Amino acid sequence: DQQVKQNSPSLSVQEGRISILNCDYTNSMFDYFLWYKKYPAEGPTFLISISSIKDKNEDGRFTVFLNKSAKHLSLHIVPSQPGDSAVYFCAASLNYKLSFGAGTTVTVRA
Amino acid sequence: GAVVSQHPSWVICKSGTSVKIECRSLDFQATTMFWYRQFPKQSLMLMATSNEGSKATYEQGVEKDKFLINHASLTLSTLTVTSAHPEDSSFYICSARDLRQGGYEQYFGPGTRLTVT
- The answer, yes or no, to whether residue B4 has pLDDT greater than 80, is yes
Q: What is the pLDDT of residues B19-73, one digit of tens each?
A: 999 999 998 888 899 999 998 878 899 999 998 888 899 999 999 999 999 998 8
Question: What whole-number distance in Å separates Cα of residue B6 and Cα of residue A29?
Answer: 32
* Average pLDDT over chain B, rounded to an integer: 92
In this model, does residue A29 exceed pLDDT 80?
yes
Q: What is the mean pLDDT of residues B76-103?
A: 91
- Contacts of residue B32 in chain A, CB cutoff 8 Å? 96
Indicate whether B93 pLDDT > 80: yes
Contact A81, A66 (CB under 8 A): no
Handedness of CA A26, A66, B110, B76 (dihedral sign): negative
**A7 burial level (CB within 10 Å; 0-12, 13-18, 19+):** exposed
Asked if the Cβ–Cβ distance from A43 to B111 is below 8 Å, we say: yes
Closest partner CB to B108 (pick from A43, A49, A96): A43
Q: Which residues of A touch B (CB under 8 A)?
A: 32, 34, 36, 41-46, 49, 51, 89, 93, 96-103
Could A43 and B46 be called an inter-chain contact, meaning their C-beta atoms sit closer than 8 Å? no
Integer angstrom CA distances of residue A96 from A58, A84, B65: 22, 27, 24
For residue B102, the distance in angstroms to the closest alpha carbon of chain A comes to 11
Nearest CA-CA distance, residue B100 and chain A, Å: 14
**What pLDDT is stored for residue B1 in this prediction?**
62
Quote the strand ranges of chain B, DSSP E.
4-7, 10-13, 19-25, 32-38, 44-51, 57-58, 67-73, 76-81, 90-97, 106-108, 112-116
Average pLDDT of chain A, as a whole number:
95
For residue A78, give how far its alpha carbon lies from the nearest alpha carbon of chain B (Å).
23
B106: pLDDT strictly greater than 80: yes
Whether residue B88 has pLDDT greater than 90:
yes
CA distances from B24 to B1, B4, B73, B87 (A): 13, 6, 10, 26
Residues of A in contact with B22 (CB under 8 A): none
All residues of chain A having their beta carbon less than 8 Å from the beta carbon of residue B26 are none
